[in-house]
Amino acid sequence: MNDTFLKACRGEKTDYTPVWIMRQAGRYLPEYLKVREKVDFLTLCKTPHLAAEVTIQPLDILRVDAAILFSDILIPLEPMGFKLQFSETKGPIIHNPVSTADDIKRLRNINPEEDLPFVIETIRILLKNISVPLIGFAGAPFTVATYLIEGGSSKNFLKTKRMLYQSTEDFLELMELITDNTIKYLLSQIKAGVHAIQLFDTWAGILTPYDFSKYSLPYIKRIISAIDHSVPIIYFAFNSSSLLDLIKNLSAEVIGIDWRIEISNAIKRLGKTACVQGNLDPCILFGDEELIKERVLRILKGAKKAKGHIFNLGHGILPETPVNKAIFMVETVHNLSMS
Ligand code: 1CP
């Protein structure tokens, strides 16, 4: 197995900088769209041979150094009792969101092996068929809570914040429940053989640093200590430059950053506590090759002092991205970091 990615996660020396792309299996790839013509997104996630097929697509096409399980952070919510739909136009919809203490009491605890056997089976198929490490993942509790409370995506997260500030005890009970289930879900992925875990905290940045440290961080810490370094953990919080001083104490092996901060500055603030992942603006892939090369080099140079660096975009690749530019970016990271 090509273990460059895992070495970088552990802060060990590598021959070149490993690279993968958040949302690397997805709608920018014609091969993915072809599979999606036959099945809807939820069916794709629940059909192991197809989920494995689309996980592998970017490995062959882009030559990235890690695979990420094809699934979604909302998949474990169905067995908890939520009616989940992925709309082509509106994204995820939860038809029975949480708004009262009674709603929370009705939620079930999951048994991942029984309730989400397709995830375990997808991992098994992948381990037999790939030669790079496999990343498993889950949403961080606060990000998952926003979907459960809002019923889908949101602009100002008013319902979430209203519950947090008006019914704090209920909100924290929900966070406990999500955390318990996330731990079980991640441990089942690790048991099935994933080599690393990423926690996606897409909406961490909507909280004040004070509220983040009080109402979100303790749950992330609980997840990280339950995993107990059995595999490296990447904690990625979007829009989190103002939270780095809090995040650095998490004891995650890798901290993911978006593009809103110079990587050299993030490394100064994180110190040698963790490796970094990131941080190219996904829109740079709409520029010409010269621009991509310049910006890749800038990040590689900026990351020189890091304990370890995994190259990635600062958020998911956009569906409109030209595939040849994504291929060029991966090649460029490899070539420039080798010399
Ligand atoms: O094919 C389609 O039309 C569905 C689009 C799609 C895809 C390809 C969704 C719906 N999810 C995914 C896959 C997915 N989601 C992966 C696969 C592995 C990969 O290649 O990276 C992962 C890791 C996720 C994680 C995820 N889902 C996050 C966290 C990361 C991020 O992008 O911020 C979030 C917030 C979601 C919710 C979600 N699922 C899908 C959409 C469109 C959204 C976002 C909606 C919103 O903005 O609130």
Mind listing the pLDDT tens digit for each residue in 76-102?
A: 999 999 999 999 999 999 999 999 999
Q: Over 90: is that where the pLDDT of 339 sits?
A: no
Q: Which pLDDT score, from 0 to 100, does residue 255 have?
A: 98
- Which distant-in-sequence residues (6+ apart) come within 8 Å of 38 by Cβ? none
How far is the C-alpha of 136 from the C-alpha of 170, rounded, in Å?
Answer: 29
Mind listing the pLDDT tens digit for each residue in 311-328?
A: 999 999 999 999 999 999
Mean pLDDT of the chain: 97
Nearest CA to ligand 1 atom 19: 23
3 state SS of 94: strand
Whole-number Å distance, alpha carbon 321 to ligand 1 midpoint, is 16
Nearest CA to ligand 1 atom 11: 72
Q: Is CATH 3.60.21.10 what the domain over 4-338 is classified as, yes or no? A: no
Whole-number Å distance, alpha carbon 7 to ligand 1 midpoint, is 27
Which residue of 33, 38, 73 sits with most ligand 1 atoms within 8 Å of its CB, as the best mutation to test the pocket? 73
* Alpha-carbon torsion angle 202, 205, 207, 210, nearest 10: 120
- Closest listed residue to residue 36, CA positions, set 95, 92, 90, 86: 86
pTM over 0.95: yes
**Which protein residues are within 6 Å of ligand 1, measured from CB?**
22-27, 36, 41, 68, 70, 72-74, 86, 91-92, 137, 153, 200, 202, 238, 316
Beta bridge partners of 236: 200, 256
How far is the C-alpha of 115 from the C-alpha of 274, rounded, in Å?
Answer: 34
Catalytic residue IDs: 23, 27, 36, 72, 147
Mind listing the pLDDT tens digit for each residue in 144-156?
A: 999 999 999 999 9
Nearest CA to ligand 1 atom 38: 92
Q: Which pLDDT score, from 0 to 100, does residue 211 have?
A: 98
Q: Which two tokens stand for residue 127?
A: 């381990």
Q: For the chain, which residues make up each domain, given as ranges?
A: 4-338
Nearest CA to ligand 1 atom 9: 72
- Closest listed residue to residue 135, CA positions, set 312, 320, 329: 312
Whole-number Å distance, alpha carbon 15 to ligand 1 midpoint, is 31
Q: Which pLDDT score, from 0 to 100, does residue 272 have?
A: 87
Q: Which pLDDT score, from 0 to 100, does residue 277 have?
A: 98
Whole-number Å distance, alpha carbon 139 to ligand 1 midpoint, is 10
How far is the C-alpha of 281 from the C-alpha of 291, rounded, in Å?
Answer: 12
